[in-house]
């Protein structure tokens, strides 16, 4: 019966040409070749060879004449199309990393054959096995459901472009609001950094494509190229196989066992700071958290007294380097060779910082002991495939990357956390009561870090609303299809995580500080790419567990003893440099 119905449906197809059967080509994704239900690239038909073989003779007898010769070849799933093939299938039905097309550009994971010419109309029927024989899974007849791919000329240009400067002034003034405003224009928008054309990505779906499903076809973009002059080839700036190798070597330094040890260092450093505060005084919390994060970073990287003088040099030079980081990424390289006082101070600080860290590395190598810190873990790391470790130069690049990333971002998040709670005293009271209930007057331990539900929700909301890093870049290493647009190799893409975190389609009332939104809708239930404070995919922050530990230890230790309010008359202002932070944040201290 099923075979007769199938034959009748086939006979009813419009005869614009001899209908033909198109076998799924070798090189398309595994889901399409194997016909796995729910995992294929088009209809997701399950595979059942016995049912298929039993149904083929019936189809050959009852199907339209032009299809009878090929009916015996029906595979686990077959796609019948009209005289020409259009782009069929959609990304949201594909395996991660696969474009999921039945006919059209091949899966990039396996490099199948190229596309056939697109048609303005098509016929398509997908058949597959059922328990009683071949089952008809659908016939489409009409206009193509997916429009042809656009090119670079189809992408709109962001408003406000200035000759020679492009959109540089808008970036300099307020990069987050500028990039957030582009979502009303499209998923991809042309933005110019001076004369350099980039594509701003405004959609979480497309950002996820850049960072995860198509990540193999991208590398770090222009901003990271500019940073390489100081960072070297560390984890932040490296690409490809070398980046993957370095990540494998670095990741053990942030194991749960090591994070437990680092937590003791964090607790000691914040304990000393809190003990130095006086009732009724005003403290610049931004400056305090800057200094605290620097001390925690140096103490967890270099735990011993070895190289004490070099560590003091690191503490002295690092703030200068951080202030000049944005300047280095935006200005031409030739500027840093000019005898400009500010540029010379930055060059000198960078040189002294790298020299001091290099001295510490040589001292550790000569000592040979495990000091239970990050540097010891990096020196002891060995590649599972080759058995080789990192050279001193490679370790130097990684230490520079780690100390800069950890210091700048964590201090900005902590300052924003205390500021947001001061703006919402009812949330601050709830968080403080939770801390009292968990700790009961004792010091926080590593085992406590997951027990602070309201505290963690408040920190998550700060990371959503006040994410300190404004923008990231990626560059295509080959021709790519992003969204519905085909773009050439070398195309530069820019995206803002803070802008994604303020998407009103995902976050109701997105500018409102609302920690309870994470109770109503946990991060795991959000669309992919919508909440990525530490990135995602193969370049997710290697120290994200370290960051969460530091944020939680500092937040709970401070709020267990003090209530912080914005000082009378203070008007905190944020600036955009290497990260977004307050110029100053005067807050009054009240003992609890």
Question: Does residue 497 contact residue 540 with C-beta atoms inside 8 Å?
Answer: no
Cα(324)–Cα(336) distance, rounded to whole angstroms?
11
Are residues 211 and 536 in contact, defined by beta-carbon separation less than 8 angstroms? yes
Q: Which residues contact 83 (CB under 8 A, 6 or more apart)?
A: 16, 17, 18, 19, 20, 119
| C-alpha span between 582 and 287 (Å, rounded) | 9
Query: Which parts are annotated binding residues for heme?
Result: 541
User: Mind spelling out the 3-state secondary structure of 166-191?
Assistant: ECHHHHHHCHHHHHHHHHHCCCEEEE
Round to whole Å and give the CA distance between 436 and 527: 35
Say if CB 17 and CB 83 are below 8 A apart: yes
277-280 contacts, C-beta under 8 A, 24 or more apart:
277/562, 277/589, 278/589, 279/589, 279/590, 279/591, 280/588, 280/589, 280/590
Contact by Cβ (8 Å): 24, 104: no
- Binding-site annotation: residue ranges: 541
Cα(168)–Cα(173) distance, rounded to whole angstroms? 9
Q: Can you read off the two tokens belonging to residue 418?
A: 């205390």
DSSP sequence for 343-365? HHHHHHHHHHHHHHHHHHHHHHH
Helix (H, G, I), strand (E, B), or coil: what is residue 570? Answer: coil
Query: How far apart (Å, rounded) are the C-alpha atoms in residues 489 and 216?
Result: 13
Beta bridge partners of 581: 575
d(CA 282, CA 564): 9
Nearest alpha-carbon partner for 75 in 12, 138, 14, 25: 25
Angle 515-176-152 from CA coordinates, rounded to 5° = 125
Residue with tokens 């994604």: 500
Q: What distances in angstroms separate CA 216 from CA 151, 177, 434, 499, one per listed residue?
A: 21, 30, 44, 24
Helix (H, G, I), strand (E, B) or coil at 317: helix
Q: Where are the alpha helices (DSSP H) in 424-543?
A: 425-439, 453-465, 497-500, 517-520
Q: What angle do CA 407, 408, 411 make, to 5 degrees?
A: 80
Relative orientation angle of helices 308-330 and 285-301, to the nearest 10 degrees: 120
**Residues facing residue 485 across a β-bridge:** 150, 482
Check residue 562 and report its DSSP letter.
E
């Amino acid at each position: 019966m099923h075979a007769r119905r199938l034959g009748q449906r086939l006979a009813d197809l419009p005869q614009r040409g001899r209908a033909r059967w198109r076998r799924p080509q070798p090189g398309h994704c595994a889901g399409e070749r194997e016909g796995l239900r729910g995992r294929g690239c088009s209809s997701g038909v399950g595979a059942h060879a016995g049912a298929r073989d039993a149904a083929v003779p019936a189809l050959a007898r009852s199907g339209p004449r032009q299809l009878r010769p090929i009916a015996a070849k029906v595979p686990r799933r077959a796609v019948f199309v009209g005289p020409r093939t259009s782009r069929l299938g959609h990304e949201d039905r594909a395996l991660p990393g696969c474009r999921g097309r039945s006919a059209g550009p091949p899966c990039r994971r396996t490099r199948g054959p190229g596309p056939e010419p697109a048609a303005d109309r098509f016929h398509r029927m997908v058949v597959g096995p059922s328990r009683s024989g071949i089952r008809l899974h659908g016939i489409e007849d009409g206009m193509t459901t997916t429009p042809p791919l656009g090119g670079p000329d189809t992408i709109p240009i962001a408003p406000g472009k200035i000759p020679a400067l492009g959109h540089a002034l808008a970036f300099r003034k307020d990069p987050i609001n500028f990039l957030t405003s582009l979502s009303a224009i499209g998923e991809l928008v042309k933005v110019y950094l001076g004369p350099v054309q980039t594509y701003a990505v405004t959609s979480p779906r497309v950002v996820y494509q850049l960072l995860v499903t198509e990540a193999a076809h991208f590398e770090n973009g222009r901003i990271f190229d500019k940073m390489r002059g100081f960072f070297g080839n560390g984890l932040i700036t490296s690409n490809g196989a070398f980046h993957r190798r370095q990540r494998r070597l670095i990741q053990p330094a942030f194991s749960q066992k090591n994070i437990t040890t680092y937590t003791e260092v964090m607790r000691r450093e914040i304990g000393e700071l809190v003990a130095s505060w006086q009732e009724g005084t005003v403290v610049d919390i931004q400056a305090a958290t800057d200094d605290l994060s620097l001390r925690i970073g140096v103490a967890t990287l270099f735990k011993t007294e070895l190289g004490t003088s070099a560590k003091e040099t690191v503490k002295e030079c690092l703030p200068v380097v951080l202030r000049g980081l944005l300047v280095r990424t935006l200005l031409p390289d030739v500027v840093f060779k000019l005898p400009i006082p500010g540029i010379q101070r930055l060059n000198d600080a960078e040189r002294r910082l790298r020299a001091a860290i290099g001295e510490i590395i040589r001292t550790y190598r000569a000592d040979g002991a495990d000091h239970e810190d990050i540097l010891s873990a990096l020196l002891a790391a060995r590649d599972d495939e080759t058995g080789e470790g990192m050279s001193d130069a490679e370790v130097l690049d990684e230490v520079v990357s780690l100390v800069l990333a950890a210091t700048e971002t964590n201090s900005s998040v902590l300052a924003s956390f205390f500021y947001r709670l001061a703006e919402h005293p009812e949330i601050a009271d709830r968080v403080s009561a939770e801390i009292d209930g968990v700790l009961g007057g004792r010091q926080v331990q590593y085992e406590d870090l997951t027990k602070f539900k309201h505290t963690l929700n408040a920190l998550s909301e700060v990371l959503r609303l006040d994410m300190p890093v404004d923008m990231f870049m990626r560059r295509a290493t080959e021709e790519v299809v992003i969204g519905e647009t085909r773009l050439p190799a070398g195309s530069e893409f820019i995206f803002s995580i803070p802008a994604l975190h303020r998407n009103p389609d995902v976050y109701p009332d997105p500018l409102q500080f609302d920690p309870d939104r994470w109770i109503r809708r946990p991060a795991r239930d959000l669309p992919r790419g919508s909440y990525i404070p530490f990135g995602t995919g193969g370049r997710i922050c290697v120290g994200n567990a370290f960051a969460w530990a530091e944020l939680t230890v500092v937040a709970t230790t401070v709020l267990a003893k003090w209530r912080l309010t914005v000082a009378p008359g203070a008007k905190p202002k944020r600036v955009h440099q290497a990260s977004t932070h307050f110029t100053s944040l005067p807050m009054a201290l009240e003992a609890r």
